[in-house]
Amino acid sequence: MSNTAVSYRSQDRTAIITIDRPERMNRIDADVVEGLHQAWHRFMASDEDRVAVLTGAGDKAFTAGADLKAPPSNLYRGIPGVGVPVDKPVIGAVAGWVVGGGMVLTTMCDILVAADNTRFSYPEVKVGFTGGLIANLALRIPHKIAMELLLVGEPIDAKRAYEVGARPDGCHRRQRGLGGGPQGLCREAPAQLQGALRGASARIPARTRMER
């Protein structure tokens, strides 16, 4: 990939996709969106990579959200299952701040691993900017909790994210160590994994789901 904002590395049948701008807290601009778009296409075209891990460089932030000095107009292009059809498992591995568009990215991951220092925030109500894609959050955690996040804009930590179902038990790690997660999924039959993902997506009401 020629895009330097997002890196792609293959290891043990796993694609490691990294937003690679730690000096800017991995803020999302047009280059990051395009880098993610290219990465999802590469992942789906790969016969070797069966699972993707989406992460951010550094421990301060998975991403601090949109670069408000140059906000992307097409964030959807970088979202797996929205900008690019993806029917392989995607694991989010996050630490530090997960803000705005970063929360949109994590809602579209199939599994989420969060370090102890993770903070989730959707402050767009405070800054007057939103792209609308976050609405799917209400389909993934209890509705009233999702609405509090969206309408009040206050952050929640990794422990609270587990309590409301935003990430599974066993994924509350001091670091973003994934244990045997990706390798375990790589051992499963690809067709069965894809069938499970498509089946789960089909259970979301057609008018509100974002196709994987």
Question: For 148-172, what is each residue's pLDDT tens digit?
Answer: 888 888 888 888 888 887 665 544 4
* 81 touches 202 (CB < 8 A): no
Of 204 and 70, which is predicted with more confidence? 70
Mean pLDDT within 194-204: 51
Q: What is the rounded distance in angstroms from the CA atom of residue 116 to the CA atom of residue 52?
A: 22
pLDDT tens for each residue of 87-144:
999 999 999 999 999 999 999 999 888 998 999 998 877 766 666 677 778 777 888 8
Output the pLDDT for position 60: 95
Of 165 and 201, which is predicted with more confidence? 165
The answer to whether residue 209 sits within a structural domain is no
Look at residue 187 and give its three-state secondary structure: coil
The answer to whether residue 73 sits within a structural domain is yes
- The structure's pTM equals 0.79
Tokens matching residue 122: 């959707």
- pLDDT > 90: percent of the chain: 48
Give the number of other Cβ atoms within 10 Å of residue 82's Cβ: 19
The residue length of the chain stands at 212
The answer to whether residue 210 sits within a structural domain is no
Is 54 a residue whose pLDDT tops 90? yes
The answer to whether residue 161 sits within a structural domain is yes
- Give the CATH number of the domain where residue 162 resides: 3.90.226.10
Q: Which amino acid is at 100?
A: G
* Residue 15: domain span: 6-202
Question: Which stretches of 49-96 are assigned E, i.e. beta strand?
Answer: 51-56, 61-63, 90-94
* 71 touches 34 (CB < 8 A): no
Number of domains composing the chain: 1
Q: How confident is the model at residue 26 (pLDDT cuts 50, 70, 90)?
A: very high
The answer to whether residue 211 sits within a structural domain is no
Mean pLDDT within 201-209: 43
Output the pLDDT for position 205: 43
Is 2 a residue whose pLDDT tops 80? no
Is 182 a residue whose pLDDT tops 80? no
Comparing 27-36, 95-104, 200-209, the range with the smallest average pLDDT is: 200-209
Output the pLDDT for position 152: 84
